Structure 1
């Protein structure tokens, strides 16, 4: 799990972070780099192709297992792409360079979907979801350090082709190592066999005509979303500055529509189907075997696209509203202002780039790792829901550290002085101002680490084995939605009212997640196994 977590984090760091340092050194203009960032849409909308990963097998590699076949394929493809990128000049071969980066982002997002599903499927009483989720986060953050700070360090002493060749070799090695990882083939087969055994065309199941209309509606909505996102990316990467579409306008206007089309309406359709089943309406009175290719295609499509949603709605019921509220708000405190972190450090607080690099990258990643370790320990001792709630409280409260920095940082400075941290930083070559920044970043990153470990464990606990690829991809894609859509308004608020008011607002917004966590905690405590949440290692409830 640690290796797979590392494999998930490394391409993300290299393709959506470090790559822009290479483009900057190659003197690629900022507008082109802005268009390049659109490859990140692959991560935002990865749930759109997640159903195919549950139903389609890779020729030859399918003998590796349901999940491993896709994991190994994605990792080997990513390694190959990184090696090829090392041979290209980003200026003279910009078209091929961007195409490969886009394919790499698609492969990386695909790998994320299947690794998330693998984690859910292989979890058991010994390697619990909570433990696997924590070590996954550890591996992911180590990869962020390797693909970020270490890559910059190597580039300064060698060159960018050497860096990407090295990283490509690492991904290839991981891909070969993945051949020997365990797989949850038994779990996936059992879920599929159960679906086949109970059958979609046996007595008591929904009429195929009703299922067909539901499948058509959901497929059209998801197809529209895929076409919309794909068309926008092609137009953006293939147009000049004058005809290039506005990415900010696209995300702010089309983003909510895509979510409504691919999540809200399909969930409502699934709820309607579950209601029909429970009321005994439009059910088969006898077995009706599929006698045509179209009928078998309908069954396969329904199992891939609609059945994961009906399982979700049927198992969780009205609690799904609480869960979606928690998913949408839990990470908002750190996701919504993350894009303004560097302007805050460099512009508002007037720190140097070197100071920010030391505080946010090296020291910050270390603090994040401590937070993840603490989160993992708390999961095993305090329980999942208590840790989840404490993580929400800490993530919201640590925004007040930045509010203090925006007002001069007197409180943070006092804490740094009293704990001896200022003295330590001064003896290592820094000053009181740097110690103050490092103290604030440490507080936030430890809180984010605890919250992150608990949140991944919680998400993993509410998805069903056998349907985990689609269900987890949907939930994880929604996690950063509010933050992404709200950044435009937040930027305007910073311009008009300054950073202090923004940090007070994000603290209050974090309080919403705390309230929803408490509601969910009460629900699980009362219902126990009937809550629809995996009870493995669920202490403190």
Structure 2
């Protein structure tokens, strides 16, 4: 995981910086990473955002629209079926590659769902709409698992993990803009069915293009393979491995916990889809109440179980002793495959990281909280508290804001190649915390933001562009745009580093499960904390909340420094970094 210069064919070190960045961008893997990032960002925009505008125009009542918010659970709890992507091969598609066999079909499924929706009228086919949205969101979340694992698998010294992670975010943000703001503009001119027809064409085209993407040959290293690779599963019976009794106990405990979590989510979704509007359970209440319990059941408790298994193996207790050669040949059982798919990724994670896992989980839970936890309150803050108009907010957040994020991602990618991943991760955390202070000033009147905007000529630029768009109400627009610009620039830098770091700490052979678990924790913590944050806003006001989230950001900075030190010591202790030990390009 050290940040070192790359050597060329003559053995001469290439200096990191723009040259490294350009070489990475020329790699075909980078081009496919843009497509994959775009494919990850478009479905959430269409199923969780833009779709509500179509339903509103079709005069669907709010209570019925609440059912559609269920599709968001597919993204929040995608880790629940992530082991399947390491364990199961799709019949007839295995030859596409370990990851592509999931990526391309899921993208085509999303495209087909959008295509069928474009021919339906939500007034008369609301049931089909909800079913298609659920299918599309599930397929989208599934492709996310596979794409994240693909990025980790194919990274090399040229198309580095850091650059691929940055490109992922760029594609994602571009898709969010096209599926969100641009989708609304297109629909205003040609109608919703035609808009979704265009979007389905994009997804179908990407799905077809994905068939030609490179895919790492991870079959020989994969921890979860089909019957053709049963010899790998048979390694569970090697000398020094824990006994079958220990494995079965661990599998039973983890299996029951995961079964409860999956059952809880399924029961909730069935109740929500079948109950009368007045009897439907609240999605937000479910997420805030059962979300933490599901995390405990699927991450925290299994981690303790995995630690117990790793401890048995490390101490040499309850392990298979030297064989005499007279034992009958072992028959690989279904439970052995299940153990390797569900339990072993956690055993590897805990065994490799030890107590450092506590630090990593703390960083995962706090790093993105500054921008993720309050995002749902952004429009109430802009429109209600500050009394800006919808046009002003759209101008600042969609036009300047998206540009700032893309600029931040590009700048973040360059900083990673120049100064290293951990430096950029720490810088991103510091900037994200600092931008909360900018919002605190905005909540207090925005005098500092207005003065800064005036001083560097930003106000004149905003007023000029607003004039081009023929906006007449520009009072206070510059300070709002100035604040959003710097926040989104910080989000871009932090996002590039965070995805790269998150990808670097998982083991390649367990990438699908381990990354999905960590990514879901990042998503869930913001959702879980919004209820408490809403109460804090009601009691103390926005100014206090922005100061509070800035303090949380300082905690994330401190954790970044601690993780930086841990990685440096780990690299020094091992003497040299071995990319295949964790992830290529790390």
| Structure 2 length-normalised TM | 0.89
The answer for the alignment partner of 1:418 in structure 2 is: 455
For the structure 1 residues 436 and 214, does the alpha-carbon distance in structure 2 shift closer, same or farther, using more than 3 Å as the test? same
The answer for the alignment partner of 1:230 in structure 2 is: 266
With 428-437 and 354-363 compared, the bigger mean Cα shift is at 428-437
**Structure 1 residues 84-483: aligned runs within 5 Å:** 84-185=116-217, 187-192=218-223, 196=232, 199-285=235-321, 286=323, 295-428=332-465, 429=467, 431-483=474-526
Q: Is the 8 A contact 1:20 1:33 kept in 2?
A: yes
Q: Pick the aligned partner of 1:519 from 562, 575, 579.
A: 562
Q: What SS class does the counterpart of residue 124 from structure 1 fall into?
A: coil
For the structure 1 residues 289 and 347, does the alpha-carbon distance in structure 2 shift closer, same or farther, using more than 3 Å as the test? farther
- Whole-Å Cα distance in 1 between the matches of residues 481 and 584 of structure 2? 37
CA drift of 1:184 comes to: 1.1
CA drift of 1:210 comes to: 1.2
CA deviations over 1:73-117 (Å, ceiling 9, x no partner): 100101100000111111211111101101111100000000000
Q: Does 1:506 align with 2:549?
A: yes
Q: Is the 8 A contact 2:506 2:583 kept in 1?
A: no
With 79-88 and 419-428 compared, the bigger mean Cα shift is at 419-428
Q: Does 1:33 align with 2:70?
A: no
Q: What SS class does the counterpart of residue 279 from structure 2 fall into?
A: coil
CA drift of 1:220 comes to: 1.1
CA deviations over 1:216-271 (Å, ceiling 9, x no partner): 11111111101101110111122112221132332222111111100001100000
CA drift of 1:482 comes to: 2.3
- Whole-Å Cα distance in 2 between the matches of residues 331 and 519 of structure 1? 17
CA drift of 1:536 comes to: 6.3
Q: Is the 8 A contact 2:155 2:584 kept in 1?
A: no
- Whole-Å Cα distance in 2 between the matches of residues 259 and 24 of structure 1? 34
Q: Is the 8 A contact 2:156 2:585 kept in 1?
A: no
- Whole-Å Cα distance in 2 between the matches of residues 188 and 39 of structure 1? 32
Q: What SS class does the counterpart of residue 204 from structure 1 fall into?
A: coil
- Whole-Å Cα distance in 2 between the matches of residues 290 and 157 of structure 1? 70
CA drift of 1:529 comes to: 6.6
- Whole-Å Cα distance in 2 between the matches of residues 10 and 169 of structure 1? 12
Q: Is the 8 A contact 1:397 1:507 kept in 2?
A: yes
The answer for the alignment partner of 1:9 in structure 2 is: 41
Q: How many residues align?
A: 535
CA deviations over 1:393-445 (Å, ceiling 9, x no partner): 00011011111111110000001111111112222225351111110000100
Q: What SS class does the counterpart of residue 245 from structure 1 fall into?
A: coil
CA drift of 1:172 comes to: 0.6
- Whole-Å Cα distance in 1 between the matches of residues 285 and 384 of structure 2? 26
- Whole-Å Cα distance in 2 between the matches of residues 96 and 341 of structure 1? 32
With 430-439 and 368-377 compared, the bigger mean Cα shift is at 430-439
**Structure 1 residues 62-77: aligned runs within 5 Å:** 62-77=94-109
For the structure 1 residues 290 and 143, does the alpha-carbon distance in structure 2 shift closer, same or farther, using more than 3 Å as the test? farther
The answer for the alignment partner of 1:42 in structure 2 is: 74
Q: Is the 8 A contact 1:201 1:290 kept in 2?
A: no
- Whole-Å Cα distance in 1 between the matches of residues 494 and 160 of structure 2? 18
In structure 1, list runs of 5 or more residues that go unmatched.
none
Q: Is the 8 A contact 1:383 1:537 kept in 2?
A: no
Q: Is the 8 A contact 2:69 2:283 kept in 1?
A: no
- Whole-Å Cα distance in 2 between the matches of residues 63 and 27 of structure 1? 47
CA drift of 1:28 comes to: 1.1
Q: What SS class does the counterpart of residue 476 from structure 2 fall into?
A: helix
Q: What SS class does the counterpart of residue 508 from structure 2 fall into?
A: coil
In structure 2, list runs of 5 or more residues that go unmatched.
1-32, 224-228
- Whole-Å Cα distance in 1 between the matches of residues 154 and 105 of structure 2? 19
With 199-208 and 302-311 compared, the bigger mean Cα shift is at 199-208
- Whole-Å Cα distance in 1 between the matches of residues 113 and 231 of structure 2? 38
| Aligned alpha-carbon RMSD (Å) | 1.8
- Whole-Å Cα distance in 1 between the matches of residues 176 and 280 of structure 2? 31
- Whole-Å Cα distance in 2 between the matches of residues 197 and 106 of structure 1? 29
Q: Is the 8 A contact 1:407 1:500 kept in 2?
A: yes
Q: What SS class does the counterpart of residue 366 from structure 1 fall into?
A: helix
- Whole-Å Cα distance in 1 between the matches of residues 584 and 239 of structure 2? 34
- Whole-Å Cα distance in 2 between the matches of residues 413 and 483 of structure 1? 30
CA drift of 1:209 comes to: 1.6
Q: What SS class does the counterpart of residue 466 from structure 1 fall into?
A: helix
CA drift of 1:362 comes to: 1.9
- Whole-Å Cα distance in 1 between the matches of residues 510 and 341 of structure 2? 9
CA deviations over 1:321-373 (Å, ceiling 9, x no partner): 00000000000000110000000011111111111111111211101000100
The answer for the alignment partner of 2:15 in structure 1 is: none
- Whole-Å Cα distance in 2 between the matches of residues 510 and 535 of structure 1? 28
